[in-house]
Structure 1
Amino acid sequence: MALVVRFTQILEFLVAKGQATEMQLSHLIKASEQTVRSVMTQLNQALEDVAVITRDKKMYRLVVKDYDELALLLGGGIKAIADFNSSDKRIAYICKVMIELGGYILIDDIADELVVSRGTIQKDLRKLGQLVTLYDGQLESKPNCGVRLLASEFGKRLIFLNHVYDYYQYELKFDSDFFDLLDNLYDKLKLNQIQVTTFERELLLSINRIQAGHIIETEIDNYCNLVNHNEFLNDFFIKIENKLNRNLTQYEQDFMAYPLNMNNNFPFDATRIDFAFINRLIHQIVMDIDEEYPIQMNQTTLFEALKFHVTFLLNRTRFQYQEKNIFFKSIQNRYPFAYQLAEIAKESIKKVTGLVISDIELNTLAIYFELSLSKVRIDSTKKVALIANVGTAAKQMLYLQIRAILGEDIVMTELTEEAANQDFSEFMVVFTTVPLKAISSNVMEIQVANLLDDDFITTRLRILKNSILLDKSKVKMTMTHLNQTYSENLIQMMGDLEQQGKVDSQFAERILARNQTASTIFENTFAFPHTINVGSSDIVLSIGLAPKDEISLIFMLAVPENLLPNWESYLVKVYDMIFEIVGNPELQYEILKMENLEQLQGLLKRKGLII
């Protein structure tokens, strides 16, 4: 089965990207580059007249010959070629038998049918037992009777669709009029290929189950049918009822419509969304984030950004519907703090709905939080200065060009040449025709002549926005060498901060209380204890180096109770820096060798984390 999984992973990636390097595919399927070459040879043989994957200097490209057949392969056709040496196909067969029979099956009978040992089937059943819990199901064993699947009709259908259908596609004996109805519906709804494939498979399965007397009789919780009033779909359901000679319950119609409710690429009726519930959910997310990391996430802004995304996220999660993972690079590594916020949101969603979102959904949530954080980081530095000894017309042209590059929301200040010696720390960028003698290291200087070079400007601004560095002068930073246990090291660090007058007298008590209610340890080697520093307006960061202890790095953050105006961006940058270090073992190793704070800050500056 590993080969079939690799085939699918590679095909989906090449369809999405068009091409890939050998190293990329090696990371994708978690195998050596030599194995990639072997798999690609076998994949080309399996594709036959459907497509061909060419290789040129370790770059693979997909050339499609038959798009319809390729869509069928991506829709599950590849799995159909698997044999019973595949654990997944054996599990699919066991599921199929259990769902169709509805009663107990004997392990020995299954082993004989599949020509494998009883021990092999027992291992498969253990995997299956874990799988069905995702659908609120369980396996029940009974002596002399065998094993059966206990799940709702809703759960059984999802198990079949997600884990059986690709191996055992239904071929229902309907007349041509039925398939004409389907084709007519697809044309009217203008569905894409993925929607057509998903809609058809679940529709055929549903009709099969309904004809066998298995009906969905309860409302599907945490699911919103946003196409309930679609006239074409309702007309189709009426025709299906006539074909079946029975009524479809609203719950059946909700289920049948689910492929159109998984994302926002189909027209939907927003009035059907329970915005009050979504608002409560986002309120919970904001509260949980604030409890863990005291930053001001604006609930109204977050609601506007997430209200539709969360609705579809809940729909997808309820149906265990997996979007394709479009993020080849790890979102967790690229945006570590945003990913932490998404992790908190994941727990908030579970707390409110009981649903556990997937890693792919977590990645997308992290992107939304990264966009929100980016606004926090740069909102306080959107001021731009212009020093230009040019005429009015030329100056107006400069204004227009700068706004075209940076956006309309910037605040532009015109300064005279006499101001060239001032400290420009309040500005994000200074555009100038004269050399600047004194300028903060975190302010970008761009000569006006370079405005004519769009590539130059774009590159410089990308560097500015992507690095978003922490100014070390905005943080009271200390460094301590430690040689005791983690608990003792914590006490030492808290005592030092209190003795130095950097934290209030109850700071240590709050840190210890937080440690008891929430884990502050990451990757078993890194600790991030943090809490509010009552009465303070300073961001205080104490860094503890304990190379001999299992928890070798401790970042203790005292979050100011009275955060200065526009200083929230600096706090976010502290979080960014800390979680950047969490995901970089090599940097952690270098940090542990630092002898003093100056060396440490120099290292962090060289690594592009502070200025």
Structure 2
Amino acid sequence: MSIAIKQRELLRLFSVNKHMSIGEVEKKMGISRQSINLLLETLADNYFKVFNISKFEDSLQISILDEKEFESLLSWKILSMSTLNSFHRRQALVFQRLLKKDEYISADEIADSLYISRRTISRNLVKMKEVASKYLITIDSKPGVGIKIEGTELSKRLLILYEVMDFVSPSYQLSPEVDNTLLKVMDLNHVPYEVIELLKRTIQITIDRKDNNFIDELSPFTSFEDYEALPQLYEVVEVAMKRKLTLSERKFMCFPLNLGLISVKLENSEILAFSEKILTSEEDEFGVGLNFKETARILNNHLVYLINRSMMHWKFLDVSIRNELTKNAFSFVLARSFIEKFSKQYGLVVDDTEIGLLSTWFELFLIRRSKPLVRTVAIITQGGPSFKELIKAEISLFFGTEIQINFWTITNHPSYDELYDRNDLVFMDNILFTEKDSYPFVSLVVVTKENQKEREGIERRVLGNRITKKCSVLEGYFDVSKSYEENFYQLLEMLYDGKIVDQLFIEKIIEKESKNPSISSSGLAYPHLVNAGSKEIILVFVQNFNGELASSTDIRVNDFVLMAIPENLNAEAQDILIKIFDSIFTQTQEFPVKERLGVNNFEERMEKICLQS
């Protein structure tokens, strides 16, 4: 990892947690304390007008002086401003230079234009060839002639997208007309932010490479053309290019809209026919007893997306599929066998994550075969109306149009026991997690007694994601040699010193807790009160609660959360608060309160406060 990439990673950690210990940074980044000190020194020298990182013993704290400039450093700027000592930046610049011309360029010419030595280029060429080969690109180097990149136009565009733009593109140079039309597409079709960011890049590449021939390279790729305002986007891009877009250009430019992250239905008759053929062979090999024609028809939409993702080398970073879906599970074996045949037919390299996603579909087919009479289904999801409509259509494919479908939100539904009693089957959508958010992926998993705990864990993670994004979450320490009340009062002093709560809040909560301590019979202390000076819910947890603290009551305190609640709550904050109380008091007590609320999955977002004297 280059120093520029390490710098950006360290700043990303600080963007979600302004207080961290050096040990935390070591663990999260996998680097030594000496490397951390080097990063701190270089950041302090270059960006002292943007932020200040103070160090006290084992603790680090960042003070951001220029929010806008800090945000830009988290994206491209810290990479593009880094020196050519960064291998990734050197590599990107050499790729960029070679991709501008379809001819041999001498190593001396490249070295002179980038102010680096010819020896450096020769030394990096082996690694560059390895990177390029992932996109089916070869780098031909001939002594005395030069270096040339060879590959299809699609391969070259993907190389630019994934290996060049992050390191050399200072910004997207889209015209106001293109940018405004793109925002219109986003608003009308509810396109996620991450998809729009990728779309900006593919549009920029399409315009930049308008003089390169790009025809008939995406025949298996399937596009959805009925997005609102999409024809207008084509028009403004064509104005910028001063010519019409080819079909391949349209497909490449809009491939971020066709990855399965937006709920639209895609079908491809060629894929359908080949799927039937594979399923027939699966029946002969495994004897699964599936109706191969009907199964292929239902799978068609998912397989179209699978091909789209694989053709564009787009991979899921983290999809929360069932943990127990191991290589020994029959549905996984079926999916792996299917994808091996499928990828061979289309000459694609399919990411392993796709096997897990496809296996959830085979699991549904196997369940339907064993339980054909299904009349009522519960679906737990955090998807919106369009997502629900698509899922409703897909469930109807499995179990018929007369089936009754009850939708529940992932953070607010009856107990699983109640759902089992009222429904023949209970489903939950797979959740796709990114650094910024979590949202549903068009794939379902049936919830059974066997996997219920795992699905409950996913629900807690989703709730924890909402809490740590929408609330102010802090974490401190209690001194186990002191009583609960002593620790509690010391905590309040620290919160006051940090200007997190005001004096009135402290006086009122001390008075309230003295008269009627908020301590449950299980030992959970949950002091809570309205905090007039707060605009968001404040939650304070304790990190090192390994024992029990004596209290003024007969109950010993073994867990803790403080809640400071604003006077005025919007609808979303009210929903979160209700779910916090539900999770604290209605869920099983076997987990600490941080786990019940799911915030333990997002420790890096918690602001650390020292409560030790």
TM-score by length of 1: 0.51
- Between 1 and 2, higher relative CO (CA 8 Å, sep ≥ 6) is seen in 2
**Alignment match, 1:239:** 236
Aligned residues: 391
**Alignment match, 1:335:** 326
| 1:335 counterpart SS class | coil
Q: Deviations over 1:32-80 (max 9, x none)?
A: 6858966996898699899999999999999999998787666544532
Q: Deviations over 1:509-543 (max 9, x none)?
A: xxxxxxxxxxxxxxxxxxxxxxxxxxxxxxxxxxx
Q: Distance in 2 between matches of 1:368 and 1:55?
A: 51
1:264 matches 2:261: yes
Q: Distance in 1 between matches of 2:295 and 2:28?
A: 33
Residue type of the alignment partner of 1:406: Y
Q: Distance in 1 between matches of 2:452 and 2:340?
A: 33
- Contact 1:219–1:251 at 8 Å: present in 2 too? yes
- Contact 1:237–1:248 at 8 Å: present in 2 too? yes
Query: Aligned pair in 2 of structure 1 residues 353, 73: CA closer, same or farther (>3 Å)?
Result: farther
- Contact 1:98–1:149 at 8 Å: present in 2 too? yes
- Contact 2:2–2:87 at 8 Å: present in 1 too? no
Deviation for aligned residue 1:232: 0.7
| 1:191 counterpart SS class | coil
Residue type of the alignment partner of 1:335: T
**Alignment match, 2:271:** 277
In the alignment, structure 2 segments of 5+ residues that lack a partner are 375-413, 426-447, 456-613
Q: Deviations over 1:106-144 (max 9, x none)?
A: 223334454555444224222222322333321223342
Report matched runs for 1:35-46 at 5 Å: none
**Alignment match, 2:219:** 221
**Alignment match, 1:515:** none
- Contact 1:172–1:208 at 8 Å: present in 2 too? no
Residue type of the alignment partner of 1:224: T
In the alignment, structure 1 segments of 5+ residues that lack a partner are 383-399, 412-459, 468-611
| 2:148 counterpart SS class | strand
Query: Aligned pair in 2 of structure 1 residues 245, 325: CA closer, same or farther (>3 Å)?
Result: same
**Alignment match, 2:249:** 252
Deviation for aligned residue 1:274: 0.6
- Which of 293, 317, 320 aligns to 2:310? It is 317
Residue type of the alignment partner of 2:121: I
Q: Deviations over 1:277-326 (max 9, x none)?
A: 146337526745974x6666775786577443332222121111233325
Query: Aligned pair in 2 of structure 1 residues 71, 206: CA closer, same or farther (>3 Å)?
Result: farther
Q: Deviations over 1:223-242 (max 9, x none)?
A: 1111x233411122223334
Q: Distance in 1 between matches of 2:299 and 2:292?
A: 10
Query: Aligned pair in 2 of structure 1 residues 335, 141: CA closer, same or farther (>3 Å)?
Result: same
Query: Aligned pair in 2 of structure 1 residues 462, 377: CA closer, same or farther (>3 Å)?
Result: farther
Report matched runs for 1:137-148 at 5 Å: 137-148=137-148
Report matched runs for 1:529-608 at 5 Å: none
- Which of 396, 410, 418 aligns to 1:404? It is 418
**Alignment match, 1:422:** none
| 1:166 counterpart SS class | helix
- Contact 1:342–1:365 at 8 Å: present in 2 too? yes
Larger radius of gyration: 1
- Contact 1:26–1:32 at 8 Å: present in 2 too? yes
1:355 matches 2:352: no
- Contact 2:22–2:33 at 8 Å: present in 1 too? no
Query: Aligned pair in 2 of structure 1 residues 316, 300: CA closer, same or farther (>3 Å)?
Result: same
Q: Distance in 2 between matches of 1:401 and 1:171?
A: 49
Query: Aligned pair in 2 of structure 1 residues 230, 175: CA closer, same or farther (>3 Å)?
Result: closer
- Contact 2:178–2:236 at 8 Å: present in 1 too? no
> Percent identity among equivalent residues?
21
Report matched runs for 1:159-178 at 5 Å: 159-169=159-169, 176-178=176-178
- Contact 1:11–1:74 at 8 Å: present in 2 too? yes
Q: Distance in 2 between matches of 1:365 and 1:300?
A: 17
- Contact 1:9–1:28 at 8 Å: present in 2 too? no
Residue type of the alignment partner of 1:79: L
**Alignment match, 1:204:** 204
- Contact 1:215–1:252 at 8 Å: present in 2 too? no
Query: Aligned pair in 2 of structure 1 residues 186, 463: CA closer, same or farther (>3 Å)?
Result: closer
- Contact 1:278–1:311 at 8 Å: present in 2 too? no
Deviation for aligned residue 1:11: 7.6
Report matched runs for 1:55-66 at 5 Å: none
TM-score by length of 2: 0.50
Deviation for aligned residue 1:354: 0.9
Residue type of the alignment partner of 2:271: F
Query: Aligned pair in 2 of structure 1 residues 41, 197: CA closer, same or farther (>3 Å)?
Result: same
**Alignment match, 1:569:** none
Query: Aligned pair in 2 of structure 1 residues 345, 57: CA closer, same or farther (>3 Å)?
Result: farther
